[in-house]
Amino acid sequence: MAETHERRTTDGNLWKELLSFSVYKPNQGRVARQTTFAALAVTLVVGVWRMGQLLPLWLASGTSLSPVVPVVDIGIVRFLVPGLLLAFGLWIIFRFVNMQRFADFLIAVETEMTKVSWPTGDEVVRSSAVIIFLIFALAAILAGYDLFWWFVLRAIQSIG
């Protein structure tokens, strides 16, 4: 049964799911889906923004292939290409987060996250203080070892 469903998903339902406007189980796993969408969208926006900065440099360095084909207007392309990629990418991310298999995974993640016992603010502060103290203590111990061996090796070098 699972193999039949798996084959059905890969045969042609991918395009059907990408072009669909439906949201799979809209009231479940909302926080996990929104967080995942936001993280992927920020990554996409940074990439498109960077491409928008580099695109004029790429276009300015290239020349026209023939005298008949004009060099493209950099102002239009600089905003049109990244804008279209951003819109397409956001749609793909939205559909990806709402695909059945991935949405079920995110729903399960959110369900498990509700079972976690989170520490209180006071526990976080105390644990952080202990960790910071240990880092400085280990740094001091390593600095002591380093100085010891530096003096020992300098003494050996001066003897030899």
Reduced to 3 states (helix: H, G, I; strand: E, B; else coil), residue 160 is coil
- The average pLDDT across 95-100 equals 86
Contact 41, 93 (CB under 8 A): yes
Average pLDDT on 59-80 reads 61
Higher pLDDT, 10 or 138: 138
What residue segments make up the domains of the chain, in order of their start? 2-116, 119-160
Could you tell me the pLDDT band of residue 69, with boundaries at 50, 70 and 90?
very low
106, 36 contact by CB (below 8 A): yes
What pLDDT digit, counting tens, does each position of 107-159 carry?
999 999 889 998 999 999 999 999 999 999 999 999 999 999 999 999 999 88
Instruction: Report DSSP letters for 29-72, one per residue.
Output: SHHHHHHHHHHHHHHHHHHHHHHHHHHHHHHHH---SSSSSPPP
pLDDT over threshold 70, residue 8 = no
For position 1, what pLDDT does the model report?
46
Please write the tens of the pLDDT for every residue from 12-62. 676 777 777 777 787 788 888 899 999 999 999 999 999 888 877 776 665
